[in-house]
Amino acid sequence: MKEYKVAILGATGAVGREMMKILAERKFPVKELHLLASARSAGRFLEWQGKPIEIEEACEAAFEGMDIVLGAAENDIAKKFAPAIVKAGAVFVDNSSAFRMEPNVPLIVPEINPGDAKNHHGIISNPNCSTIITVTAVNALNAISPIRSMIASTYQAVSGAGAGGPLELAEEIEALREGKPVQPKVFSHQIAYNLIPQIGGEQFEGYTSEEMKMQNEGRKIMHLPELKVSCTCVRVPVVRSHSISVQLHFDRPISVAEAREVIANAPGCRLVDDLAKKEYPMPLETSDQDLVFVGRIRPDLTDENGLCLWCCGDQVRKGAATNAVQIAELLIEKE
């Protein structure tokens, strides 16, 4: 089997470290693994498959000879280095939002639109974490009858804000237990015992940038250019795994039984839907694995062509790192 030289841009962050873990778990054919980060991290070592790998400073020369670069850095870093990555002949699988809506950059969820990956010009984008989880949950229904509109509310874990999110939650809980004041740094307000109904800055008519991703990215991934979405994104005091409440509207009625059957057989999904037995998707059950759990499937009482459901998935893995590695797998399958 051919082996590949792989670099991770932003290797010291939560998603970068998860990418390292998943490359090993999925036995990706890595010939060499290069870990790239800022100058302050260069020279340190991270262990991978029992061996220490020295972190290199991210610079244009670092991409020479690479086959695949997995991006786990912020937008500005992705934009800075993308030209050098493409010039070096590598394919850049980028987890940032820098290129997602560029018309010549495929936006890929491998269970949904793997064929789009072949149309890349050196860059492939990984969608937003909540978008990945949601479209994975609903795409099988879209195959039965096109989704015309969707109302979604996301309940996003603190780890979605990076490694500092869970630490801030834990510190606030401890401070409140001791009767001390809290001093939010990662989040705009106290997150312990609270909900924050804003993720991202305002982008359109009171909707935040995070909320608009569900519509804009969902249209591109599912090839539904007219899809209408109203989304509310909420940060919740949960460590890991995002949950989404979804209300779907179709061209024709879809029964609950029909929906359960297709979701149970959909790639990347697990049906967990038995209200009598108190079985439904929850963050604790979906963390540290790659399936999107789907449940609470029921008729929409406001629209005979509608369904409601609840889905949950690990946003660090399937919502970011695993999806990126799956895209890399599509690239080597094509070869």
Annotated catalytic residues are 129, 242
Contact 111, 221 (CB under 8 A): no
- Those residues whose C-beta lies under 8 Å from the C-beta of residue 199, and which sit 6 or more positions away, are 154, 156, 160, 208, 210, 211, 233, 234, 235
The β-bridge relationship of strands 202-204 and 207-208 is antiparallel
Tell me the β-bridge partners of 57.
37
- Longest Cα–Cα distance of the chain, Å, equals 61
Q: Which two tokens stand for residue 257?
A: 């039984």
**Token pair 């909900």: residue:** 195
**Token pair 């029921």: residue:** 298
C-alpha 305/C-alpha 250 separation (Å) is: 5
Cα→Cα distances 218→22, 59, 67, 107, Å? 25, 33, 29, 10
Residue 70 one-letter amino acid = L
For 297, phi then psi, to 5°, come to: -75, 125
Q: Which two tokens stand for residue 227?
A: 């899809």
Q: Based on C-alpha coordinates, what's the Rg of the chain? A: 20
The DSSP symbol for 182 reads P
Give the three-state DSSP class for 50.
coil
Strand segments, DSSP code E, in 12-131 are: 30-37, 45-48, 51-57, 68-71, 91-94, 123-125
C-alpha of 133 from chain center? 7
For 60, phi then psi, to 5°, come to: -60, -35
